[in-house]
Amino acid sequence: MSNQEDLLKTLIGHAKEYGFVFQSSEIYDGLSATYDYGPYGVELKNNIRRYWWEAMTKLNENIVGIDSAIFMHPTVWKASGHVDAFNDPLIDNKDSKKRYRADVLLEDHMAKYADKITKEIEKAKKKFGDDFDETQFRATNPNVKRSQDRIDAVEGRMKAVLEANDLEGVRQLIVDEEIKCPVSGTANWTEVRQFNLMFATELGSVSGESSTIYLRPETAQGIFVNFLNVQKSARMKLPFGIAQTGKAFRNEIVARQFIFRMREFEQMEMQFFIKPGTELEWYNTWKEKRMAWHRALGLPLENYRFHDHIKLAHYANAACDIEFKFPMGFKELEGIHSRTDFDLKQHEEFSGKKLRYFDTETNESYVPYVVETSIGLDRMFLAVLSGAYEEEKLENGEERVVLRIPAPLAPVKIAVLPLIKKDGLPEKARAIIDTLKLSHNCQYDDKDSIGKRYRRQDAIGTPYCITVDHDSLTDDKVTIRDRDTMQQERVAISELGSIVSGKVDMRGLLRKL
Ligand code: ATP
């Protein structure tokens, strides 16, 4: 593969061809930044959601779930700050007429310097071999130092202008850095404007009685407004968490990059309510717990890193992202935020209702603090897909495309393949499926040669293929083939259930946490 863009294109093509992700309304030429999940995509997505849900609610006795409505009272979004402050700074290039997020232009600009540093380091590593000392090299190499100074300078100014909401300052920084539009190649920029990301619609059918409501831009507020309902009905004691998964909607300015940035997407969020003063301890705990959840999947560890936020959101006193190495480079996959008591206090003020916790140990009543973990299900899907995709050269000179999806997340767990379509082999294959299908998602396939059928299963990431041949009818044994090693083994049909479960059971993943 020649470059990262090619990899993204290849993934998009693969996802479409093999029934993972389709462009929404494709026969009408699509709707931008909106996607549909196909037969294998929906299975993978459900499995990722289940892995998250069970890790939260099954493994933590103090975390419970809810499922709140997408529509909420409009005042919720006044209180949360979204009506006034859920904006992205946008800037247009006058020549190409293309629109950009000003902060993203600056981040991409810094990423170019970071790339230069990585290249210098890789070059030096090759040159010096085992003697290479990266820390010393970073501190002394003039090229690296120059690039790092540039990053620090841009980062410092960017933080200052964004925090001061100084839009002219943001524009000036773009001009000073000589950032050009990738399409027109010019620096002919408009002023920077704020753009609210919420979708609005009308509630009520009687004219004059309607009011503007919003499609929720995050699931978190449904948790905050239900804080007391949950605490009382489930008899929760601090510290405790509320988890929720569901759709969120944002009118993103620049919505490219496939399912990484969509206008309709799904979030998996958990708000952890704690005693004020303990937030940094819990923030660090949840950083570690969430990273462990990612690492348990077994995708390459170097694909993950933490990134502290440059500009803290209006509600946060500490925040970081878990970034993943997507085909477009390292980008945010999940956010972990210490949100203080901002949200509950705001809802107290706007609703006039008390949202307090009575602490029986100290006999005090207070507004809890919150640490949030928030991950996009679709981004996680893209992370799994891109981390799992491999074009592998085989010893016999052939090539195969294999999705090394962590087995418990794989859409299909077992494909059962009769060697030929007669002599009772299909019936035998179906009988095997009948014994397995209550526990595992199975697929029957009798079309084409066995080799072709193996390739089809590799391409959707099926961990096991089972081939039924004539001997199977008398010895009750089958050949089981492992997706990753391509090793084949003859095993008793009665053993299949336990062999397969050992690898594909979600409990295996959860046990690692
Ligand atoms: P970004 O900076 O990429 O716009 P964000 O910081 O606004 O993201 P959050 O508000 O923290 O994102 O949302 C939490 C998570 O929801 C993100 O980490 C991401 O995984 C997911 N997410 C946010 N916006 C989108 C989107 N437009 N499409 C898909 N997933 C998204």
Residue 227, domain member (yes or no): yes
Same domain, residue pair 334 and 252: yes
Same domain, residue pair 279 and 375: yes
Looking at residue 2, its pLDDT comes to: 45
Residue 204, domain member (yes or no): no
Of 386, 419, 454, which residue is a domain's last?
386
Same domain, residue pair 382 and 422: no
- Among 247, 261, 263, 315, name the best residue to mutate to test ligand 1's pocket (greatest count of ligand atoms within 8 A of Cβ): 261
Query: The CATH number of the domain where 315 resides is what?
Result: 3.30.930.10
Same domain, residue pair 369 and 417: no
Looking at residue 178, its pLDDT comes to: 95
Tokens in use for 59?
Answer: 């493994």
Torsion of CA 442, 447, 450, 451, to 10 degrees: -100
Cα–Cα distance between 411 and 388 in angstroms, integer? 13
Residue 101, domain member (yes or no): no
Q: Which protein residues are within 6 Å of ligand 1, measured from CB?
A: 218, 250, 252, 261-262, 265, 267, 332-335, 374-376, 378-379
Record the pTM.
Answer: 0.89
Query: The CATH number of the domain where 440 resides is what?
Result: 3.40.50.800
Looking at residue 157, its pLDDT comes to: 93
Cα–Cα distance between 203 and 213 in angstroms, integer? 6
Same domain, residue pair 230 and 345: yes
Atom of ligand 1 nearest to the CA of 332: 18
Residue 156, domain member (yes or no): no
Of 335, 351, 386, which residue is a domain's last?
386
- Among 223, 267, 328, name the best residue to mutate to test ligand 1's pocket (greatest count of ligand atoms within 8 A of Cβ): 267
Same domain, residue pair 245 and 366: yes
Looking at residue 1, its pLDDT comes to: 45
Q: Tell me, what DSSP letter sits at residue 215? A: B
Same domain, residue pair 367 and 446: no
Same domain, residue pair 417 and 462: yes
Residue 449, domain member (yes or no): yes
Same domain, residue pair 257 and 228: yes
Residue 187, domain member (yes or no): no
The whole-number mean pLDDT for each consecutive block of 10 residues of the chain, a chain of 513 residues, reads 76 98 96 96 98 98 98 95 91 93 93 91 89 89 93 93 90 95 94 94 72 95 98 96 98 87 97 96 98 96 91 82 95 96 97 95 95 98 97 92 98 98 96 96 96 97 98 97 97 96 95 96
Torsion of CA 466, 471, 473, 478, to 10 degrees: -20
Ligand 1 center to 323 CA (angstroms)? 11
Same domain, residue pair 264 and 292: yes
Looking at residue 207, its pLDDT comes to: 61
Query: What are the two backbone dihedrals, phi and then psi, of residue 417, each rounded to the nearest 5 degrees?
Result: -125, 110
Cis status of the peptide bond prior to 368, with omega within 30 of 0: no
Domain tally, the chain: 2
Ligand 1 center to 352 CA (angstroms)? 31
Residue 205, domain member (yes or no): no
Residue 192, domain member (yes or no): no
Same domain, residue pair 441 and 380: no
**Which residue's CA is the nearest one to ligand 1's atom 26?**
261
Owning domain of residue 447: 402-511
Same domain, residue pair 412 and 448: yes
